[in-house]
Amino acid sequence: MGRSDGAVGDVAVGDDSRGHWSGRTVLITGAAGLLGGWVARELLESGASVLGLDVAWDSPRATTPPAGVERIDGDVRDTPLLRDLLRRRAIDTVIHLAAQTLVGPAIEDPVDTFSNNIEGSWSVLEACRNAGNAGSGDGKGGVRRIVVASSDKAYGDASGRPYREEMALRPHHPYDTSKAVTDLLAQTYGYTYGLPVAITRCGNLYGGGDLNWSRIIPGTIRSVVEREAPVIRSDGSFVRDYLYVRDAAAGVVALADAVGEQPEIAGTAFNFAAGVRLPVIEVVRRILTLMGSELEPVILGLPLKEIPEQRVSAARARRVLGWRPRSTVESGLLETIEWYRSYLTKAA
Q: Which residues belong to the active site?
A: 175
Half-sphere exposure (Cβ direction) of 53: Cα atoms closer than 13 Å: 25
Query: Amino acid letter at 59?
Result: S
- Asked if residues 259 and 196 have their Cβ atoms less than 8 Å apart, the reply is yes
Question: Strand 69-73 relative to strand 49-54: parallel, antiparallel, unpaired?
Answer: parallel
State the DSSP H helix or E strand holding residue 276, giving kind and residue range, or none if neither. none
Q: Which residues contact 187 (CB under 8 A, 6 or more apart)?
A: 199, 267, 269
Helices (H) and strands (E) counted in the chain, each on its own, are 11, 14
- As a whole number of angstroms, the distance between CA 327 and CA 323 comes to 12
End-to-end CA distance of the chain: 23
Q: Which residues contact 12 (CB under 8 A, 6 or more apart)?
A: none
- As a whole number of angstroms, the distance between CA 163 and CA 313 comes to 6
Q: Residue 105, Cβ neighbours under 10 Å: how many?
A: 16
- As a whole number of angstroms, the distance between CA 265 and CA 233 comes to 40
Q: What are the E-state strand segments in 248-330? A: 269-272, 277-279, 298-299, 311-312
Q: Residue 214, Cβ neighbours under 10 Å: how many?
A: 12
- Asked if residues 308 and 234 have their Cβ atoms less than 8 Å apart, the reply is no
Q: Which residues contact 167 (CB under 8 A, 6 or more apart)?
A: 155, 158
DSSP three-state, residue 296 = coil
